[in-house]
A and B are shown apart, each in its own frame.
Chain A
């Protein structure tokens, strides 16, 4: 079955753009990220089969925005923004690339990016249980994954201070 990108855009693009706006805080960059989310969706095509498409799309948007933010050197606007920039700059536990994770997760072959989980927990305010439900892990597993990322965020902060 061919993937209907037009129908997906009509239904989900407003939500995806809101997600991107919240993370990158710049309208032009948010629109750019929104386009990229649907590019990824289009490229996955009919292999995409997810029972919760809104959650999947918002996780994809989070991944795309983290990629955008990774190279940014700007002053955080507030605590959420600071947390987001630190998460974006941190290395993924296990050394996995965003590119691998974003497509692999989309196709159900890879676990969710730990950085996406960190954003859900530390920026969006979801509990560990809620994050676990989003990504199909137990709260304990989420906590374990976030612990590894936290060390990397701390290391990155140390580098910045130095």
Chain B
């Protein structure tokens, strides 16, 4: 069965967007079916477009929307709390959409503790970030913890300036209890500031409540040694950790 050359391919041919062999095949196919005038029709439509939608106002609108979606300007603190309702709203969606690995054909089994990070843009669904994803100052992030049965844990981060931050859950001297199953969003979302290079998050877990200060100290030492981006922190005995680095 022969079908008319899809418009998709004709558009790509017009834009010189096809590899040479494919372009030749599409052009020949168009010629065979007497459809080369479709290229001319596209050219005419391009001219009409330029009159109807000139770039000045349109690009202005595009820039306005982009600026609106980029959110407010970065604030002095490296990360700060965003409204809790956002976290709650994100949680409902995250619960439906996790796991969020880098491959949509393979679902993560969750056999070991891990962090999930979602980026929240106004009016859009939370976007699951993969390790190494690029983020920017102003991005709003929602962290979630998958304990995979490890009963206690804390999330800590270090940024490109070496600033170490505790993210919870909880804020007491000991690591908080973690739910046994599922991805549990932390209570607050965070907006990134303009610290350069990277944001590295650690999920630190233990079989019993453990003091969080030695964990923070281990990450601070890493930063002081200039190894914050990829180095392994010297955690107290019996403490396991996993990390999640975002690039900036």
Contact = CB atoms under 8 A, between A and B. Distances in A.
Given A5-B63, A126-B9, A54 B17 contact: yes
B104 A92 contact: yes
Given A15-B15, A110-B102, A126-B9, A97 B49 contact: no
A59 to B, nearest CB: 10
A22 B7 CA distance: 10
A97 B126 contact: yes
A110 B125 CA distance: 16
B8 A13 contact: no
B55 interface: yes
Nearest to B97: A95
A30 B177 CA distance: 50
B175 interface: no
B133 A109 contact: yes
Interface string A137-161: 0000000010000000000000000
Interface stretch (B65-73, B208-216, B232-240): B65-73
A5 B59 contact: yes
Interface size class of B (residues with CB under 8 A): 35 or more
Most buried by A among B22, B62, B130: B62
B55 A9 contact: yes
A77 interface: no
Contact of B104 (A35, A36, A110): A110
Interface of B: 3-4, 6-9, 11-12, 14-15, 17-18, 22, 42, 45-46, 49-50, 53, 55, 58-59, 61-63, 65-66, 69-70, 93, 96-98, 100, 102-105, 107, 121, 124-128, 130, 132-134
Closest 4 CB pairs of A and B: A94-B104, A54-B17, A54-B15, A14-B49
